[in-house]
Amino acid sequence: MEFDRFKKYIYISKEPRAIIENYCKEHKINLVMRFINEYNLKKFLETELRNLNGVDYLVIDLQAIINSTSENEIVSAIELIRRMYNVRIIIIAEGYKEGNVLLGKVFNLGIYNIITARNDVMFQDEIERAFSDEGMTFGNAMKYKINDSMLVINKTTKVVKENIKRAKQTVTIGVAGTEKHIGATTVAINIVKYLSELTNVSACYIENNNHNSIYSLVEDESLQTVYNEILRKITYKGIDLYERPKNLAEILKFEYEFYVFDFGNFEEMTEEEKSSFLTRDLKIIVSGNKAWEINKLIETFMIIGEDINSHLIFNFIRNEDKETFRQSLGNFWKDRSSFSEFVPEPFIVGNKGFYESILKGYLLNSSIEEVKDKKSVFNFLKKKKDRENVKKK
């Protein structure tokens, strides 16, 4: 008989946190150790926190470390923890505001479980989200993102390259059609295929509707699929596709960077499913522009409102109608709209420009490669000229 393993947590705080301890006790998350004092986080890692294996959550209250640890040391220590251990880091930054540079640096490391509420009720709510199966998402923490111009680069170096790396924690994407057979499943699978072809990015497709369409891949014996009956997972063309999960936590534990949920269409979604769609970090609505399709699109607008994390993609629209139709959508939606290419095969990436545009903000900039300016071609030529002048003398 298999028993679920109780999860474990450690927390570092300047004072005991009853809200955290009561929540964890109620949800059977076992306290391994509490550290109540002020600490230098870098030295603390070398002494008390030398082994975090088996710990699921590490809660760090900035009040306990900010007076004894520089911001750079805090960032370096958190980055080291992320590299060495599979532990969810939860940052308590009570009262910190958007635009704070330290929180911006923490966000850039892929830490999204950041709790800033002062009010006990809101603090409790943020604790619950941070400890939930999904945890706080990219969308929850995006308000802490800061512009690169706020991060100082050493003036004695020259930037030569900027890389893109994956988001380090969960980003959820919801895809839904305004009606049946409008192409939502094709878009959902296609975006997973696009993400899977990026270097070091993991993504999966989740059939979050009752169509059971993707099982046809298994039934077609001519296709080279791998089917895991226990997980209800189909692997095909290098991507993982899950049938509608009975227990989402079973999929979340694999820690893909991107989870793409295919919600089917708004006509068939329950109120609970519509609410779930609205909580996704990124929402993609698939529609057409025929008269009856426009009516369905208007109904969809009534549900989602003017959501800044939503985008429209339109299928089957004639080229000569596109610009006129875009302008008719109004100022808010015209800049969030795109027109699909002809994509006959969902497992061959199309609409790459659209995906690059909407996903750019969800892929974090990695550390910038730099080289000393003294190695530049300019300095080489200057030295050569100096040598020639010496010879002439």
**Alpha-helical segments (H) within the chain:** 18-26, 41-47, 71-84, 101-108, 120-131, 138-141, 184-196, 216-219, 248-252, 271-278, 291-304, 322-328, 330-334, 352-359, 377-392
Question: Would you say 23 and 71 are in contact if contact means Cβ atoms under 8 Å apart?
Answer: no
Question: What is the reported pLDDT for 147?
Answer: 58
Question: What is the reported pLDDT for 294?
Answer: 85
- Alpha carbon 245 to its chain centroid, in Å, reads 20
Query: What SS3 class is residue 175?
Result: strand
Q: Rounded to an integer, what distance in angstroms lies between the CA atom of residue 40 and that of residue 28?
A: 30
Q: Rounded to an integer, what distance in angstroms lies between the CA atom of residue 60 and that of residue 63?
A: 9
Query: Could you tell me the sign of the dihedral formed by the alpha carbons of 319, 324, 330, 335, in that order?
Result: positive
Question: Would you say 365 and 146 are in contact if contact means Cβ atoms under 8 Å apart?
Answer: no
Question: What is the reported pLDDT for 82?
Answer: 83
Q: Rounded to an integer, what distance in angstroms lies between the CA atom of residue 253 and that of residue 56?
A: 11
Question: Would you say 279 and 140 are in contact if contact means Cβ atoms under 8 Å apart?
Answer: no
Say if residue 83 is exposed, middle or buried (CB neighbours under 10 Å; 0-12, 13-18, 19+).
Answer: exposed
Q: Rounded to an integer, what distance in angstroms lies between the CA atom of residue 45 and that of residue 376?
A: 39
Per-10-residue mean pLDDT of the chain, 393 residues long, equals 68 91 92 91 81 88 93 90 87 89 89 90 91 86 70 38 48 91 92 87 92 91 90 92 88 87 92 87 87 84 84 83 81 82 88 88 52 41 50 49
Query: What SS3 class is residue 342?
Result: coil
Question: What is the reported pLDDT for 309?
Answer: 85
Which amino acid is present at 12?
I
Q: Rounded to an integer, what distance in angstroms lies between the CA atom of residue 349 and that of residue 358?
A: 15
Q: Which residue has the tokens 């295929």?
A: 193
